[in-house]
Structure formats: C-alpha cells, structure tokens
Structure 1
Amino acid sequence: MNIAMVSAECAPIAKAGGLGDVVHGLARALIALGQQVEVFMPDHDVLRRDLMGERHVVCRDLRVLFGQEWINCHVDRSEVDGIPCVLIDAAAPRRFFARGRIYGEPDDATRFAFFCRAVLTLMQASDRRPDLIHCHDWHTGLLPVLLAESDVAPALCHTPVCYSLHNVGYQGVVDPRLLSQVGLAPASLMTAERLRDPTHADAANLLKGGIVYADVVTTVSPRYAWEIQNTPQGMGLQDLLRIHEDKFGGLLNGLDERVWNPLSDPHLPASFDPEHLAGKAQARDALRARLGLGSGAKPILAIVSRLDEQKGVHLLEFAIRYAPRRGAQVALLGAALDPRIAARFERVQAASAGSADCRLVLAYDEELSHLIYGGADMILIPSLYEPCGLTQMIAMQYGTVPIARRVGGLADTIHDANFSDQPFTERNGYLFDDPTEDAVATALDRAFALWSRHPDYFRQLQRNGMRQERSWHRPAQRYLDIYRICSHSSPY
C-alpha cells in the first residue's frame, strides 16, 4: 500500500512528546512490512537537521490559497531512519513554522490549519495518490474535513482516512472564521453533528472534525478508548465517540527496539538482558556518578516526565520528598512549559540540592534519559490520565519496575505484583487507583519492601517486564489490516 502519514512531529527530528515516537516507530514498521510510506510534516526551523539525510527540492513555488491570500511554500524531501519525509514550509512573510518551537504559539490553530490545506494542495499538484491517509491528533483534524467539504484536492476526495487520537486533552477549539480561511463553509459545518464544539457553541473543534469525517478512528490503547467514551477523560467528546463507536477502537503503541534496547544502547556503560543483569548494576553506578548521588544499598526511583498537570505533578512533588525518607534515592528528568510549574520544581530542586539522595534535572536530555532508564530500579508514573504511555514500556524494557496509576495504557501494560489475576511470570510492576499522596505512598512502600526484603522476587519482576514483546511489528500489522479494510470499502 501507498500510505501518506500526516503529523506535526516525527522523531527524532521533531519531537515534543510521544506523538513523534509513534509516527517514527509506526512508519518504520510499516516500511519493514513492505509498504510505501511518506510522512508529511511542517518544515519546523527546530528540526534536527543533523539527523536527516540529504534534502532534495520537491518544489519552490507551491501556491496555497489561505483566506484571500496566496502563500508560497517551499517543499523538500529527505529521509529519517529510512522514512521518506516531505517537509512543507511557508515562505516569508508568513513563516508559519519558523517559531523556534513546534507548539506553544498563539496562532497554533492557524498554522496547522494552513498545513492541512498545504498537504492536500501538494498532493493534488504533484499527482500523489496515496491509497490511504493517516492523520494524527488535532493538528491534522481539518484534513479529512477538507477532503470531503472543499475542492482543494478533487482527485483525492474519495481517499480513505485513518485518524489517530493521541490525547483528547488537546482538541483545537477555535474561532469558526478559521474554517473560512482554509476554504470551508462555517455555516454548514457549525452543527452538533459536525464541527461545533460540545462545550462552546460559538467555537469549532478541529479534533471533532477529524473524528466525524475520518473513515476509521483509533486511539493508543484499549483502556483509553473505553475511558474517553465513558468517563470525564473524554473531555466533552464522550457522546460523539459513542455515536461513532462502529469505526472507533484502541490499539496499543509499540516501542522502537532499535532505539530502546539495553543490549545495544550506546548511552549505557554495559549491555544487559533478562538473563544477565550485571550491566544494569554498572548503569546504576554510572547514573549515581553522573548525578552525584550517594552510594549505598538504596533503590533508585526514577521520574522521567513532561512536567504538567496531566502527569500528576503534585504527586511527583510528594514522591520526591517521601522516597528519601523511606531509604530510597530519586532521579528526576523533566521540563515544564507552564512557568508556574517550572518555578515550582525549581524550588524543589533548590531545596534538595544538598541531599545525596535526590537530584532533579529540569531539562530534556535524551542521552541522560537512557542512562536513567538503564540505571534506576523503579520509575513513578502517577498520571491523572495516560492515553498509552511509552515511559512504562521503555522502563520495563530496561528492567526498571513501573509504579503507576491504573489509567489508560498504564492499566493495559502493567500487571500488579500483588493484586493481579495474571500468573506471576506476567506481573511486572505496581498499580494504584486514587490520585492521592496516600495511594502513592502505599505503592512506593510495597515496591521498596520487595526490593529490600525479597531481592530475588524483585529481580523476577524486572525480568518479567524485560521479556514481554512490545515491538512495533504487531501493532503495525494491525494498522495495516485496518488500512486495507478502509481501502477496500472506499469507492476510490
């Protein structure tokens, strides 16, 4: 199949979160299955150009109608880890993607709405005819709407669309006048059945548009699919998702085992696997040396997280204080976009600076993240909601036992050491339900007690997690099955 994947991110050249990893991992796995894949993405000025192959000009004069203005676009093509990437940039004076970051601009909705129209304009002009278009998150929600309700790409109007929801906490709620700028008619689209936001009657919802107009809608774990249909985690879209439940489901993400593999990771001092854990002890020593943690018979509790409310920052802050009092060490790696949260953790960092049992690195550091996953004994993930989560899967790959809240993909991938109906060989971590300090403390105490009193059992938990299959091969095959069903049912 010829698959066009449309996304704001693709790791490692553009990554603000898990979306970039998913697009990269899924695209590579589909290519390994013999499919033709192109990833269409903005040519952000923050792309890691050192990780890209040679750039080739596709065109320098792609004219995209936006409102009453024709905007000239530059389009290049390059490869990232064998993935063909088509990079679209708006020329001066617009420069929509020359902002020094991927997200966080006041005109994000305008920038990504333009990107959707530019992708379809390019496909029409360059005679690209994919068998299926796979769109990701709210940034691309207008693309299936444009296919059905505009004349931007008449040759593609029957092309099936798969639309993936990575986090419905971000929906792209916008002024309906934005629809006019991309050539749509707000009067016909601003209805409860189409794009009108369920909470703000005078606003359009781009994520909702993608759900309504796509041929199939997926999300990133079975548990999260149920939660966003049946609990407040649907963020106002519960009724809509139930209406469209016949085309909606959850598939667990995979993990790129070429990047995350303790047997071949260049960021570790020694390799290790489930049968030979001596290399993990060396990683623990290297982590302590790197961060200046004290030596001794203490477990290391890791926190590798984006620092925002979704991740349970109040519970992370509690654990940073609590774990050293219980004889553990803490290593945190994370950054916050919200200045209030950033200031909060800077105060925690300053207060713990003199401790030999606590280090906070308030930044994004890919190399250090590998060493933390490799050297830590446990990792805390107290998310208020978690669509899938790569953190727990990476941690288990490295023999680091997850301690997590029972939500979303965390509940799908972690089986509690004490309270699970799975056989012991399948148990791999600790779960708690309530987003409270008491619940976190109880889960931490259970993990610390097993580590100190029954080290053989703790090592078995580590091995259980490492032995599980979590590559992209199986989910990529399931996506391919979905694509084929969509293509066969399409009149195109």
Structure 2
Amino acid sequence: MINSSNLSPHSFERHSHSSICNKNVICRMNYICNLSLQTPTERKCSRVFDAFTAAASHRQSLLFSRTVVNKATNIRVHASSSNGSYQLLSVSAPPSLFLLPPTVSLSPTSTPFESFNVTRFSSLSSPLLTSSLSHPPSYTANGLLCREGTVSIDLAVNGSVTTIINEVPKASSNLIAWPDPKGEPEFWNRSPFRSNPGEGVDIVEPVHKDTGLPSSSGFSLSAPARHASVRHVSVRSNPSRRKFRVVHVAAELAPVAKVGGLGDVVSGLARASLRRGHDVLVILPYYSFLEDEVNEGAANASHTKPKGRRAAETLHNVRHFLDFDVPKGYIWDGEVKYGHLPSSAFSAMTSDGVPVILIRPKRDPGSREGVTGSRIFSGGSGIYNGGGSGSYNDIEAFLYFSRAALEFLARRQITPQVLHLHDWHSAAAAMLLWESYANVPGWCNCRVVLTLHNLENTGECTGDQFAVGAGFPSTSLATQERALDERTIGHNPERLSIIKGALVYCSAAVAVSPSFATEIARGQHVGWLRSLFQQNEIKDKLHGIINGIDTELWDPRTDPVLPANFSAEFPANFPGNRRDAPADLLYGKSLCKKYLQRGLGLPESSEVPIVAVISRLAPQKGVHLIEAGMRWCGRPDDSGGYKTADPASPPILTKAQFVLLGSGHSDRIFRDVAAADARCKKEASGRDGADVKLGEEKGMSLEAARNRSLTFSFNEALSRLIFAAADIVLVPSLYEPCGLTQLIALRYGALPVVRRTGGLSDTVFDLGSVPSATEEESSRSWIPPIEGNGFCFDGTTPRDVEEALSRAVQLYRTHKETWIQIVTKSKNGMRMECGWDAPKSQGRYEELYDKLCP
C-alpha cells in the first residue's frame, strides 16, 4: 500500500492535460505514475491513470484520482477553500474492491488519522476527519482496487456537501504489455504494463520542483522530510516488552549485498526488531562494488552490480562517519608482526529502513588500495573471493572485518546488549570480544548470539592467518578446548576453526530451524564437528528458531513486478463470483501464469500445472532430484493432455510444464538438456521454418522441449514472476537448514513439493495420497489433512520425487476446488504466518535475548 507519507516529487512522473472550460467546472485529464517505490526506469514505463479535477463557483476544488488493474491503488480527495474548514463525511465501496484495508490520511501533515473497515464507511454517525488547517489539505484513502464497483465519497467544504461517485472498471488484461519471448529487453527487465493506456493526451505540464504536482494545479503537499525510496519501519509500541540494543555483524544484507538467504535473514530480522521497538544496527563490509555505485560526493558510480539493483537505489545517505585504526598483523621476515590498519566507517540507511555502518580500510582519494597498500574489500563485482577477482583472501578479509567491527563499537562507546553474529564470516568476533574487549566499559553485560545459517564452511585457517587477519596472537585459541581443529593435531601447521571457537565462546547458538537444530544435535550435516555438538555445554547453547521472510517485500497483493496482483481473500467474497467457477478465486494469479507462459515461449494453458525450480544448482540442493523432476514433467500425460488457450492449437501432451531459474557449478546436465531442446526445436521447424513431421519418440522429445524453460542465472524480477505463475514449486534439497523458497511459494499461491529435511519439514506438511478421478467414491469423500499445505518425500531416488510430483499434479488436475481451498483458505497456505513478526521467528529471538541479557 502506498500512503501519503510515501508521496514524493518522484511519485508523479509526468502530468498531461486537456481542458474543457465552462462557467463553473474545469475538467482536466492528468496522467500520473503513482508507484513511488519503482525505479526511475520503471516509472517511465509504468502505466498511467486518469484523474478528474473539478472547480465549483463557491471556490472549492476537488481532485479524485483512481488507479486500478490489480495494482497498488490510491483514492485521493484533495480539497481547498477560503477559510480552511473541511470534513470527510463518508466513503463507501463494496468490500471486495479492496485487497488491503484502506487507510485515510491528511496532507500536508502526511499523518494517517484513522484506519477503518471499508464495510462501515457508509454508516458513520460523525465525520471521519475534520480539519481547520490554513494550508490546502488532501484526504487520501489507500487500498488495492481489483474489481469493478462503485466508490462514493461525501466531502463537506465550508458546510456544503459534495458527493463524488466513481465507477471503477473491471481489471482489464488489455493494459498488460504482453511479452514477446524474442523481444528486447527481456520481459522481466521491463514494466509489465503499457506505457500509455489512455487516449490522445500529449501535453506535458510543468511539475513543481518540491511537490511533484502540476504547477497550475493549486494543490500543495509538504516536501518529504525523508528519502522517498526508503521503506521506513513503523514502530509498534508495547510497554510490557523489554527493549534491546542489538548489533548485527554480517557479510550480507539484502538488498544491498546479497548472494543467498543469509542477506535476506539479516535484513528481515533487523526490520522486525526495529518494528518491535528495539535499537538495531547492522555492520557490513564496504565492498568496492558498493562504493563504486554510491554517490559520496565523488563521481565514481560507473560500475553496476551483476544482479539486483544498483547500490545507489538500495543505500541512502551514505556519509563518512569515522576514521580509526584497526589492529592488524603482517608477515615480516617469516614472522608475524603487529601494527594497525587505518580504516574508515560510513553510515547509511538501506531502502528497507535499516541503519548500517559500512567498514573498509582507509584509501587515498581515487585509489582502490588502502593507504598501506591493502586490497581488502576492493576489486571485483561481488562479495566473496574478492568479488571473483581474487584480489583479496576471504579469511584475512573477514577476520579483519570482525576485529574492525568490535574496534568501531569500542571507539564510539556503543554498548550493545546483544552482539548478533552470522556464520563464520563474523564469528571470530565472539572470540575477540572476550579475549581483547572484555574490559571495555559496559561490555561485561554484552551477550553474543551466533546464528548458524549453513555449516558447509567452518572458517578454517592457520594460526598465522588468524593472527594476520585479526591482529591477535592465536596461541591462546589453539587448544582442543577452544578453536583448534583436532584433525590437524601434530600437523605442521595446525589449523583453527573459526566456527568451533565461536561456538565455544558465544552465549547462544541458533540454528535456523528447529529440525536443523535437532539434526545438528544428532551429528548430521556437521562433519568433523560432530564431537563438539555432543558436548553438553554446547548442546545447552543450541536453539532452533525458524527463519521468516519479509512479508512486505514478498507480497503478491502489492508486488510491483507482477502484471496482476492477487491475495487469498480476493475475490472470494465478490457478489458476482460464480460458485461453479472456483478458478476465478485466483484471477490475478491466472493472469500472471499466462504472462509467464507467453514470455518464456511456452504453450498457453490455464489447465496445465507449472512446476518451478528456483535454486542454486549445487549438490546440496538435490541436483539429481531436480533433473528427475524435470524429466518426469516431460513424459507423456496418461489422460490425453491439456487444452490450450487457443482452440486451434494441439493439446499439451506432457504431464506438466517445467520452469527452472538457477545457476551453480552443478548446472552442466541442465545446460546439455537446454542445448538438446534447442536442436530439437530447430530440427522440427525445418529449413523454411515450416513444421516437419517427426517420429513418435522425437515428437515427444519436441513436446517436452516446448514445455520447459531453463534459465541459467538469477534475476529477482524473474523469480517473482515465476513464483506468481507457478502452481507447484519443487525444493528437493538433500539438506536445508531452513529454506525461504517454500515460504515464498506458499505466499504466492503455489504448493511446494519438498524433501523432508531441516526447515522444509518445519514449514511444509504433507497432504497425503490423492485419489484419482476414476475412484469416484474415494474422491467424493476425500478430505485433505487440515494442516496440509504441500507434498513431502523422504528418499533420495528419482522415484521418490516422481511419486510426490505425481500426487501434486493429481490434486491440481482432478480436485481443483480442493486445491484452491488449500491455497486460499488453509492457515498454512497463502495465509500462513511466515513473516519475521510471527511468534515462532522474531518472538523466539526476543525470548532468547530476554533469557540471556541481565
């Protein structure tokens, strides 16, 4: 939802008008791009909407604008008069018009006065809002208008009541810019809407430099005091809850610097803590690709990140904050010597509203090297291994970062109650805090929490490497009871494990799901650390807390990437909804499915299920099971196929359509399949482009090729489109500490098929066997488990994943109404509490903080 507090000069990208004048009324057509959270490129391409301005003879002005087509919608009523007396009497509309509860705000104060239920708009005994401001205000009712209906607004200005009745047309797919699979740029890299669905208005009116409104409009909004692109966090007060000072130290933070789920977790947990009134700060390395993109006053923003948005769009108000020295080791004549590395800290705010401190070695102006020649966090275009350039060593860089984070906090006399570390990249801070900073005033009460996102890398290094990176002798740590890797006892050199040392020194360790914690305690997925986790003092520290997702960021009701928004509620309660057409309950999702099929060049059909995989292609993710699922989807359908949207086209003969988005070092098999598919399609088209007749075997290979799409990269916009279009999302991980993919899939109306491990078993509950259409008696009496929201399997063979997919497709095909009920009505479907604000996520972290802190 876009509130009036979000309005900025950029909220109104272009304004055009044509005027027809008479004695009392001036009608003006305005074209307004109102999605203020879009990028400048997206705003230029966004669809535009009409607004009406009327001026009556008693010097009153009204502006009513509406925005439809399943997108975030504002109903704005602006009023001005000679004495500044205003009353908004009532607003009435069918309840099903709104996906989100509408709010009413008053500008120029931009303060929400009241949130109320649309069902009682028309029965209010007193005015909703009353104002006596000297500045012309505007009343704003925000919501998501998704279907046809009537909105009526009664506004009293100087005692004279004016009623505005606006007919909201049905959401039309005509406003969608349907993609061309061969078009440029790729359809996921542009707006899904026509740039100008209006009619023949091409006059551009000057825009006020502060308000973004037309210069002649006569309306005034206060210039925003905060950055318009920052999603500011609303604090929910609770006097009975303790307030904590929490500092997160991490290598990733979404959306600024992200490789995997770690960045999403740090961002989501920080935002949830801020919403609940805690003091939160995130310390992050200042990678060179970020610095290249951020405007610090020096023009050096020519490089772009390989994926995601530019840092200039995700980091705001970057300011040099402090220069300080960080203890650092170096090798001289074969021995470790100790000195200091001049460093710099920068303050910033992410677009998600999270305060950040960025740290790197101090550099000479215009140089990529530190003043001492250090190249830590410089070079490359990514996070790890010098951003792929090898310009710095990860062990040295993140040991330095851990020490620098503590040094910064000590220099600024910041005394956190909780120092929250994430994976091995910042885990050394647990050891360094107690060995070097225990005497810092106020730090004796600091508690260290270590979150274990993944135990694939335990941060192994030699004693000299530790001393050079952290500026601290490793002698006191190189014991079996502390950080020594016992496998290397007697070796030359012996090695340390940063994760082991952090587990020994931390106050509490958190596995990112209860099942992952149980597996760790049993010695699964921990390798040589098995003996450590068998120790009672380590077991007592271990907690399992399920990750959440950012439900504001991942919301199909407001996602700006989608061609149509949808929710679990819409339009189930719409009066015109036919009971014999349950598929209409997900009307917006069906448009997203059609959009993706057309964009990827797949045959268009609402009947065929789309099985999607959005994953890093690595052995941990069950690559051989993904391959088995892909090949199963391409097999002949036993029931004669699926009808396509075009009656003249032949039916789809495969069991399902398959869509893959991913990359990784285990992608070879999928690249070979993609190449074979391309050859098969080329052979079938013939030299002159006409279809040629193929044998049965080759014909089925061609059918499978036409009904699958394999994309070897990661693009967040495309991932959102796939989530919104998919019916089934496959997550067959061999082990998965938590997993966010299945949570996003559920939120976007898809059912996950998962291997029962780690966090997957904590969030996906099996629906059991599904009777076929031929089993009429069983089919009529079949009731799915009330907790069920997907399909689970335990094995690691192709047959196991094929059986689970078969059950999922059977439910989709023969029990469509039940499928929709599970997706939209079940408490574990789209309505599932999967955000960080859920008691099982942020609430459990608060309980842990409360238990640890004196």
2:194 aligned with 1:194: no
2:600 aligned with 1:291: yes
Match of 2:850 among 471, 484, 490: 484
Which structure has greater helix proportion?
Answer: 1
Q: 1:46 to 1:343 in 2, by over 3 A?
A: farther
Q: Deviations over 1:287-317 (max 9, x none)?
A: 1112111123311000000111110112112
| Counterpart mapping for 1:213-362 below 5 A | 213-243=505-535, 244-276=538-570, 277-296=586-605, 297-325=607-635, 326=637, 327-336=655-664, 338=665, 341-353=666-678, 354=681, 355-362=705-712
What is the TM-score with the length of structure 2 in the denominator? 0.55
The number of residues matched between the two structures is: 483
Moved more, 341-350 or 407-416: 341-350
2:349 aligned with 1:79: yes
What is the TM-score with the length of structure 1 in the denominator? 0.94
Per the alignment, residue 734 of structure 2 pairs with: 384
Aligned-pair identity in percent equals 37
Match of 2:834 among 447, 470, 483: 470
Per the alignment, residue 47 of structure 2 pairs with: none
**One-letter amino acid of the counterpart of residue 342, structure 2:** N
| SS of equivalent residue, structure 2 residue 830 | helix
Per the alignment, residue 179 of structure 1 pairs with: 466
Moved more, 48-57 or 278-287: 48-57
**One-letter amino acid of the counterpart of residue 808, structure 2:** A
Q: 1:124 to 1:273 in 2, by over 3 A?
A: same
Cα displacement (A) at 1:179:
2.5
Cα displacement (A) at 1:344:
3.7
> What is the CA–CA distance in structure 2 between the aligned matches of 1:45 and 1:188, rounded to whole Å?
34
Cα displacement (A) at 1:458:
2.0
Q: Deviations over 1:401-442 (max 9, x none)?
A: 10010000000001001179x972321000011111111111
> What is the CA–CA distance in structure 1 between the aligned matches of 2:556 and 2:271, rounded to whole Å?
20
> What is the CA–CA distance in structure 2 between the aligned matches of 1:342 and 1:444, rounded to whole Å?
22
> What is the CA–CA distance in structure 1 between the aligned matches of 2:547 and 2:501, rounded to whole Å?
23
> What is the CA–CA distance in structure 2 between the aligned matches of 1:390 and 1:258, rounded to whole Å?
15
Cα displacement (A) at 1:158:
4.7
Is the CA contact 2:347–2:356 (under 8 Å) kept in the aligned structure 1? Answer: yes
| SS of equivalent residue, structure 1 residue 174 | strand
> What is the CA–CA distance in structure 1 between the aligned matches of 2:479 and 2:550, rounded to whole Å?
41
> What is the CA–CA distance in structure 1 between the aligned matches of 2:597 and 2:285, rounded to whole Å?
39
Per the alignment, residue 118 of structure 1 pairs with: 404
2:358 aligned with 1:95: no
Output the aligned Cα RMSD: 1.9
| SS of equivalent residue, structure 1 residue 305 | strand
| SS of equivalent residue, structure 1 residue 363 | coil
Cα displacement (A) at 1:484:
2.4
Cα displacement (A) at 1:234:
2.0
Cα displacement (A) at 1:70:
2.2
Cα displacement (A) at 1:183:
3.6
**One-letter amino acid of the counterpart of residue 661, structure 2:** L
Is the CA contact 1:147–1:157 (under 8 Å) kept in the aligned structure 2? Answer: no
| SS of equivalent residue, structure 2 residue 326 | strand
Per the alignment, residue 446 of structure 1 pairs with: 807
| SS of equivalent residue, structure 2 residue 340 | strand
Match of 1:368 among 718, 725, 731: 718
**One-letter amino acid of the counterpart of residue 249, structure 2:** V
Moved more, 391-400 or 43-52: 43-52
**One-letter amino acid of the counterpart of residue 225, structure 1:** A
Is the CA contact 2:420–2:449 (under 8 Å) kept in the aligned structure 1? Answer: yes
> What is the CA–CA distance in structure 1 between the aligned matches of 2:354 and 2:842, rounded to whole Å?
15
> What is the CA–CA distance in structure 2 between the aligned matches of 1:342 and 1:252, rounded to whole Å?
29
| Counterpart mapping for 1:386-425 below 5 A | 386-418=736-768, 424-425=785-786
Match of 2:312 among 41, 49, 53: 49
Is the CA contact 1:401–1:462 (under 8 Å) kept in the aligned structure 2? Answer: yes
Q: Deviations over 1:331-355 (max 9, x none)?
A: 111111x3xx244432222223332
> What is the CA–CA distance in structure 1 between the aligned matches of 2:807 and 2:402, rounded to whole Å?
49
Cα displacement (A) at 1:152:
8.8
**One-letter amino acid of the counterpart of residue 139, structure 1:** H
Q: Deviations over 1:43-73 (max 9, x none)?
A: 11233232111112111x3211210342221
Cα displacement (A) at 1:385:
0.4
Q: 1:27 to 1:342 in 2, by over 3 A?
A: same
Is the CA contact 1:147–1:153 (under 8 Å) kept in the aligned structure 2? Answer: no
Match of 2:457 among 152, 158, 170: 170
Q: Deviations over 1:347-394 (max 9, x none)?
A: 222223332211111111000111100000001111010000000000
| SS of equivalent residue, structure 2 residue 736 | coil
| Greater Rg over alpha carbons, structure | 2
**One-letter amino acid of the counterpart of residue 401, structure 2:** F
Is the CA contact 2:280–2:355 (under 8 Å) kept in the aligned structure 1? Answer: yes
Is the CA contact 1:417–1:427 (under 8 Å) kept in the aligned structure 2? Answer: yes
> What is the CA–CA distance in structure 2 between the aligned matches of 1:392 and 1:40, rounded to whole Å?
29
| SS of equivalent residue, structure 1 residue 282 | helix
**One-letter amino acid of the counterpart of residue 389, structure 1:** G
Moved more, 458-467 or 77-86: 458-467
**One-letter amino acid of the counterpart of residue 403, structure 1:** V
Higher relative contact order (CA 8 A, sep 6+): 1
Cα displacement (A) at 1:109:
1.3
Cα displacement (A) at 1:250:
0.3
Cα displacement (A) at 1:216:
0.9
> What is the CA–CA distance in structure 2 between the aligned matches of 1:103 and 1:444, rounded to whole Å?
36
Cα displacement (A) at 1:151:
4.8
> What is the CA–CA distance in structure 2 between the aligned matches of 1:269 and 1:146, rounded to whole Å?
50
Is the CA contact 2:769–2:807 (under 8 Å) kept in the aligned structure 1? Answer: no
Is the CA contact 1:53–1:78 (under 8 Å) kept in the aligned structure 2? Answer: yes
Is the CA contact 2:765–2:787 (under 8 Å) kept in the aligned structure 1? Answer: yes
Is the CA contact 2:417–2:445 (under 8 Å) kept in the aligned structure 1? Answer: no
